């Protein structure tokens, strides 16, 4: 039997250390919300491949759709010879995305590709180059998306100067002394001191920040951004790579707001574990680029599109929007119980829409100082308990819950109990 330790040693020799792995566990197989490592140990998965597995590991309907597609065609390159699953998926997303008026969709492979192409289209549509994003945001690791990401370590350090014409606004976080008024004040300063509004192509924002700590954009900020964009001819791009496809209790997190974006990026749980990303937006904007200006050899693969069509069917057929809300309420109730106990590590700010749930580790009860080291200890202890858990946040203080929405009720309770055990002092 191959052991985790043996594979870890082989990994160290074969794979560069720049790509990190949160756990020393090597997965052999997985099913819904459980996985087994190469040594046969079972884990409850509260990470979901970083929000990729809202419909769980290897959902039977997704696997069935992929197998059927394998018997037909696996690749032609959409730019060479198109295929129906791409069109069918685009039609479904155009009909359901919170976009005003007619919409069109294009598919890629990674979330970063979707974000980069959103910027390309925004620049083509407006004839401008400036991009505004927010501190704490994560938009990818490519040269452009790295510049847009609002955190230096580990995403920007060592990699030299950033792409020009990218500006950052502080995201409103009470823990760090920033409110909506401050965010808008700095935004207006940027538009006066650094880049005139007529040179800004787009404002890009995650409706709920992912790596930044699962902080939801206040409705008044989203409204203000929509108004500002309309006033100055700027496009509003919602980065829903992590928030999409039922995680927040809506198909898209932007459905929680009373304003709509011009473009929405998608990836992660779109295809239930298969590599697929996309960009949906107003048809008049999406058509601004010339033929050949967009695409990618593997973008919108037949396999990924078939999987995504099945994912949408599962979300509807199994009522995962309602289930996301129900599971989220149960998780919050458990966390509030933990928060009230003196035998638990001090936690604060239990938050999140639907099942995009998070909380912060703090230095002491009643304090506001974040404790990233404590969060790391919790994820390590959780793994020892048989629970895969991820941290995030500006100071690494946040524990995020990304269990599959298809998780069985008893397994969900077991996972919450393991979380409680990891928090016990």
pLDDT digits (tens, 9 = 90+) for 193-210: 999 999 999 999 999 999
The percentage of residues in the chain with a pLDDT greater than 90, rounded to a whole number, is 96
Residues 51-64 as b/e (b if ≥16 CB within 10 A, e otherwise) read bbbbbbbebebbee
pLDDT at position 161: 83
Q: Determine the pLDDT at residue 418.
A: 98
pLDDT digits (tens, 9 = 90+) for 101-121: 999 999 999 999 999 999 999
The pLDDT, as a whole number, for residue 256 is 98
- Give the Cβ contact number of residue 281 at 10 Å: 28
Least Cα distance to 185 among 173, 169, 196, 201 occurs for: 169
Say whether pLDDT at 159 is over 90.
no
Contact 371, 402 (CB under 8 A): no
What b/e string do you get for 214-249 counting C-beta neighbours within 10 Å, with b at 16 or more? bbbbeeebbebbbebbeebebbbbbbbbbbbbbbbb
- What is the layout of strands, in order, in the sheet containing 390-392? 347-351, 357-361, 398-401, 390-392
Q: 396: phi > 0 → left, psi -120 to 50 → alpha, else beta; which? A: left
- Which residues face 263 on adjacent strands? 237, 281
Q: What is the pLDDT of residues 401-416, one digit of tens each?
A: 999 999 999 999 999 9
Mean pLDDT of the chain: 97
pLDDT at 175: 87
pLDDT at 196: 97
pLDDT of residue 277: 98
Give CA–CA dist 228/222, Å, rounded: 10
The string of pLDDT tens digits covering residues 262-274 is: 999 999 999 999 9
Residue 14: how many CA atoms within 13 Å on its side-chain side? 6
CA dihedral 267, 268, 269, 273 (to 10 degrees): 120
Q: Where in the chain is the domain with CATH 3.40.640.10?
A: 73-317
Residue holding tokens 């509807």?
A: 316
The pLDDT assigned to 307 comes to 98
Which pLDDT tens digit goes with each residue over 357-370? 999 999 999 888 99
Given a contact cutoff of 8 angstroms between Cβ atoms, the answer to whether 304 and 110 are in contact is: no
* Average pLDDT estimate for 379-388: 98
Q: Are 53 and 59 in contact (CB under 8 A)?
A: no
pTM for the whole structure? 0.97
| Domain 4-58+319-423 listed as CATH 3.30.950.10 | no
Q: How confident is the model over 217-255, as pLDDT tens digits?
A: 999 999 999 999 999 999 999 999 999 999 999 999 999
How far apart, in Å, are the Cα atoms of 289 and each of 94, 119, 180, 285, 286? Answer: 18, 12, 35, 8, 7
Tell me the pLDDT tens digit for each residue of 14-34: 999 999 999 999 999 999 999
- 3-state DSSP assignment of residue 242: coil
How far is 424 from 388, CA to CA, in rounded Å?
A: 17
Domain 73-317 bears CATH identifier 3.40.640.10: yes
**Could you tell me where in the chain the CATH 3.90.1150.10 domains are found?**
4-58+319-423
């Amino acid at each position: 039997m191959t052991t985790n330790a043996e594979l870890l040693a082989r990994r160290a020799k074969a794979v560069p250390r720049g790509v990190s792995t949160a756990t020393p566990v090597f997965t052999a197989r997985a099913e819904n919300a459980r996985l087994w490592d190469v040594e046969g140990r079972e884990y409850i998965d509260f990470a979901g491949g970083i929000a990729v597995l809202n419909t769980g590991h290897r959902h039977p309907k997704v696997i069935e759709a992929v197998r059927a597609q394998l018997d037909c065609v696996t690749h032609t390159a959409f730019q060479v010879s198109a295929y129906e699953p791409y069109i069918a998926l685009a039609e479904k997303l155009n009909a359901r995305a919170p976009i005003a008026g007619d919409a069109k969709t294009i598919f890629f492979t990674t979330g970063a590709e979707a974000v980069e192409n959103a910027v390309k289209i925004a620049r083509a549509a407006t004839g401008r180059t400036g991009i505004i994003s927010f501190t704490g945001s994560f938009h990818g690791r490519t040269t452009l998306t790295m510049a847009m990401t609002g955190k230096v370590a580990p995403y920007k350090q060592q990699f030299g100067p950033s792409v020009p014409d990218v500006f950052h606004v502080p995201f409103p976080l009470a823990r760090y002394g920033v409110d909506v008024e401050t965010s808008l004040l700095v935004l207006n300063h940027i538009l006066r001191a650094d880049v005139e509004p007529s040179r800004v192509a787009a404002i890009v924002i995650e409706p709920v920040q992912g790596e930044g700590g699962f902080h939801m954009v206040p409705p008044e900020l989203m409204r203000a951004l929509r108004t500002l964009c309309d006033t100055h001819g700027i496009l509003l791009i919602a980065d829903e790579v992590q928030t999409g496809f039922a995680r927040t209790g809506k198909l898209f997190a932007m459905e929680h707001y009373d304003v709509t974006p011009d473009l929405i990026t998608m990836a992660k749980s779109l295809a239930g574990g298969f590599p697929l990303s996309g960009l949906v937006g107003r048809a008049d904007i999406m058509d601004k680029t010339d033929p050949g200006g967009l695409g990618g050899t593997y973008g919108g693969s037949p396999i990924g599109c078939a999987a995504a069509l099945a994912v949408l069917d599962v979300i509807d057929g199994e009522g995962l929007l309602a289930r996301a809300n129900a599971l989220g309420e149960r998780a919050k109730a458990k966390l509030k119980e933990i928060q009230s106990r003196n035998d638990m590590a001090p936690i604060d700010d239990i938050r999140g829409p639907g099942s995009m749930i998070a909380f912060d580790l703090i230095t002491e009860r009643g304090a506001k100082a974040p404790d990233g080291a404590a969060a790391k200890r919790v994820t390590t202890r959780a793994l020892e308990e048989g629970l895969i858990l991820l941290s995030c946040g500006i100071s690494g203080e946040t524990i995020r819950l990304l269990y599959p929405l298809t998780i069985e009720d008893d397994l969900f309770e077991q996972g919450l109990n393991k979380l409680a055990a990891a928090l016990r002092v």
